[in-house]
Amino acid sequence: MTGDPGMQRSLTDARSWEAPPAQGPTERARLAERAHQDRDIVYFLQSPEMNAFSLSHDYTESREGTDRYLNVVRTGSTVSNPSGRILDTGEAMKVDVLTGEQMKEAGVDAGDEKVEPNQQVVVFRFPAVKKGQSLRLRISETYTAPQSYRLDGDELVFERSLGRPRNSVVLPRGWYVTASAVPAVVRQTPDGLTRLDFVNGRPDSVDVLLKAKKAASAVPKEQPASH
């Protein structure tokens, strides 16, 4: 909660005393974003041999004047096929993939994010939010991240820090959960895929370590040798 609106002061860029000043989130980020609990992200795992997963991220932008969303690609990951859409109108967003150096040259402010010169950043652009209004946005990307998502023997391993209030992971077809380091609701989607829903009410991340195996019915049988 942020208190009585009539007594509320503007949120500041002061950082949490519990983390080093260069790393701790600002007051604005902690209260203006997470307190709304309006963000959902779903990870769709592709075949583990590909080390790739796509994601769909929905959130509501209500900050007056905001006209872009920046997604900083984590070290060790590469991004492809980024796209964005304004769900209120169906309008597609303009999307650019820039390095930190290119952003600096173009005068694009990274805000609270620390971006290395060679680090990738996906920039989604949309019409500036007007006073008293909001936009519901959907952002989609594909990441290749061998350290986060891999095949270990016959087990699929997905290991990633998930920072949204509601995070979901959908396994490839034919795979089932064998272990999860974080409690999750496991269910089957209408099209028969296994989905895990992680709900985090805290203002920090959940470090997910997930393992799965392919169901026997999904493993191709060896064909007898022809004579």
The confidence score (pLDDT) of residue 39 equals 78
The confidence score (pLDDT) of residue 220 equals 56
Q: Do both 134 and 150 map to the same domain?
A: no
User: Does any domain span residue 225?
Assistant: no
Place of tokens 């590469």: 78
Q: pLDDT digits over 122-150, tens only?
A: 999 999 999 999 999 999 999 999 999 99
The confidence score (pLDDT) of residue 107 equals 86
User: Does any domain span residue 132?
Assistant: yes
Distance separating alpha carbons of residues 30 and 204, to the nearest angstrom: 9
Backbone angles phi, psi at 42, to 5 degrees: -125, 125
* Beta pairing class for 68-72 and 52-61: unpaired
Give me the domain span that covers residue 68. 58-142
> For residue 56, what are its two tokens?
């769909």
> For residue 196, what are its two tokens?
């895990």
Q: Report the sign of the C-alpha dihedral through residues 13, 32, 139, 42, in that order.
A: positive
What Rg, from alpha-carbon coordinates, does the chain have? 20
Neighbours of 116 (CB within 10 A): 12
Contact 208, 182 (CB under 8 A): yes
Burial 200-218 (b: 16+ CB within 10 A, else e): beeeeebebebebbbeeee
Q: pLDDT digits over 64-81, tens only?
A: 999 999 998 988 899 999
The residue ranges of the chain whose pLDDT is under 70 are: 1-13, 15-38, 218-227
The confidence score (pLDDT) of residue 45 equals 98
Q: Do both 176 and 211 map to the same domain?
A: yes
Task: Quote the pTM value.
Answer: 0.78
Residues 6+ apart with CB under 8 A from 30: 16, 203
The confidence score (pLDDT) of residue 66 equals 93
User: Does any domain span residue 63?
Assistant: yes
Q: Do both 162 and 212 map to the same domain?
A: yes
Q: Do both 103 and 134 map to the same domain?
A: yes
